[in-house]
Amino acid sequence: MSLNTSESSDDSNSTQTRAKRSKVWEHFEQNLVEVDNYFRAICKYCRMQLSTKSGTSSLRTHISQYCHAIGEAERNRFIATLKKPIENFVFDPQFSRERMIEFVIHAEIPFNKFEDPYFEPWVQSMQPTLSVVGRQTVRNDCLKKYQRMKQDIQNELESLDSHVCLTSDLWTSIQNLGYMVVTAHYITPDFKIKKKIISFKEVKYPHSGFAIEEALVSCLTEWGIRNKLFTLTVDNASNNNTTCDLLVDTHKYELMLEGAHLHVRCCAHILNILVQDGMKIIHEGIKKIRELLKHIVSSPSRMQAFNEIAVVNGLPTKRGIALDIPNRWNSTFKMVAEAIKYKTVLNSYANQHAEIPPNEQEWSTADSICKFLKTFEEATKAISAHRKPTSYMFLPLIV
């Protein structure tokens, strides 16, 4: 290895002269070193030698990402020099405001954040010509954006040559108010599957089939797709059966094939009913595990003792242990799966604290239960995908 000076050769002179035009050379030694007939640059910070055969791209990558010895401030200053300035840029306040409204909607930013005393100075520091608007103006802009988007979707639905499939569900809020959501699924002329939430409204109690049917018809009328409805997918509640019967009876001649295939039952709900029936037996099979876990989580000292045993057995500590909820079978699956993972720890804890641990037969039962529930969880996830059709998968999964 020999140190290369500017007098070594014409080739080396041209290489060094050409290389020094880049900002990256501020972070490398002025002179190159020759190794195996190739010139290499020496990093000022970590002294690593890098080839310059292909230009300075490897040097830039080293300084911006891999050099461990460079200071963070120095690295950031160098990265800033890599960004190309935007030529002939003209600031458009209206365009910027529209992008801001999109951000507010997507990130669910509260409107009152725009009246924070530190918000306007921050914006002014970046673009003094941008006028900061108040929360009421932002709210109005969001509503205008909603109306434009709604009109675009309405135009798309009205121009469809194909039919529309709906899914609907009801649930109760923490204020005991009933809400119904309606989602439209359709295929565009270029054969792309789309799904759009077209209704999210309160439904007055009682949630009878008549109330649900009225809300659905109102939604279809609002969007102009009463004559394009193909199927309605709902869960297996009796009020939904009534809803579908009413739709067929009242709007038979507007429905495809007079509503012969209107009612589609939710596959995920059917799976849930199947598992819930089996859970009546399963709960007895894991009773000891559940009681032992309840004992552990009942006090911080017991949780600490559990974690100490886990550390000894080479398992990660836990802040808490999730117990199952009777009406959520997937919570039972998660509880049993976690218990099996910590089987040794639970047995040791029970012996040390005079609790009754599950015997080997009960652990074997828990393992079988876990495998049983895992199969249903995988099936539920498979048919719950929302960006592709899944109804054709249901029968093979069940079988």
Polymer length in residues for the chain: 399
- The mean per-residue pLDDT over the stretch 109-135 comes to 89
For residues 137 and 133, what is the distance between their CA atoms, to the nearest angstrom? 6
Q: What pLDDT does residue 323 have?
A: 85
Q: What pLDDT does residue 13 have?
A: 45
Q: What pLDDT does residue 87 have?
A: 67
Span 9-50, pLDDT tens digits: 444 444 444 546 677 888 888 888 877 777 888 888 888 888
- The mean per-residue pLDDT over the stretch 103-130 comes to 90
Span 306-361, pLDDT tens digits: 999 999 999 999 888 888 876 678 888 888 899 999 999 999 999 998 888 888 88
Pairing, β 33-35 against β 38-42: antiparallel
- Please say if the pLDDT value at position 6 is more than 50: no
Strongest mean pLDDT among 17-21, 213-217, 252-256: 213-217
If you average pLDDT over every residue of the chain, what do you get?
84
Closest CA to 229 of 286, 289, 151, 164: 164
pLDDT exceeding 70 applies to what percent of the chain? 93
> Cβ(204)–Cβ(195) under 8 Å?
no
Lowest mean pLDDT among 4-8, 67-71, 190-194: 4-8
Helix (H, G, I), strand (E, B) or coil at 93: helix
Q: What pLDDT does residue 137 have?
A: 93
Closest CA to 282 of 331, 318, 236, 233: 331
- The mean per-residue pLDDT over the stretch 240-244 comes to 89
At residue 84 the predicted structure's pLDDT band, cuts being 50, 70 and 90, is low
- Please say if the pLDDT value at position 2 is more than 50: no
- The mean per-residue pLDDT over the stretch 218-239 comes to 90
Burial class (CB in 10 A: 0-12, 13-18, 19+), 256: middle
- The mean per-residue pLDDT over the stretch 265-277 comes to 84
Residue with tokens 């048919």: 383
For residues 268 and 264, what is the distance between their CA atoms, to the nearest angstrom? 12
Q: Look at 94 and 23; give whichever has higher pLDDT.
A: 94
For residues 274 and 236, what is the distance between their CA atoms, to the nearest angstrom? 12
Q: What pLDDT does residue 349 have?
A: 92
Q: What pLDDT does residue 4 have?
A: 45
List the Cα angle 165/171/175 in 5-degree steps: 145
Q: What pLDDT does residue 8 have?
A: 40
Q: Yes or no: is domain 163-265 CATH 3.40.640.10?
A: no
At residue 67 the predicted structure's pLDDT band, cuts being 50, 70 and 90, is confident
Domain spans, the chain: 2-82, 93-151, 163-265, 271-383
Burial class (CB in 10 A: 0-12, 13-18, 19+), 361: exposed
For residues 114 and 135, what is the distance between their CA atoms, to the nearest angstrom? 6
> Cβ(232)–Cβ(262) under 8 Å?
yes
142: number of Cβ within 10 Å: 16
Q: What pLDDT does residue 307 have?
A: 92
- The mean per-residue pLDDT over the stretch 291-318 comes to 91
Query: Phi, psi at residue 29, to the nearest 5°?
Result: -60, 150
- The mean per-residue pLDDT over the stretch 375-391 comes to 81
Q: Please give the sequence-ordered ranges of beta strands (E in DSSP) within the chain, or none if there are none.
A: 2-3, 33-35, 38-42, 49-51, 164-172, 178-187, 193-202, 229-234, 263-265
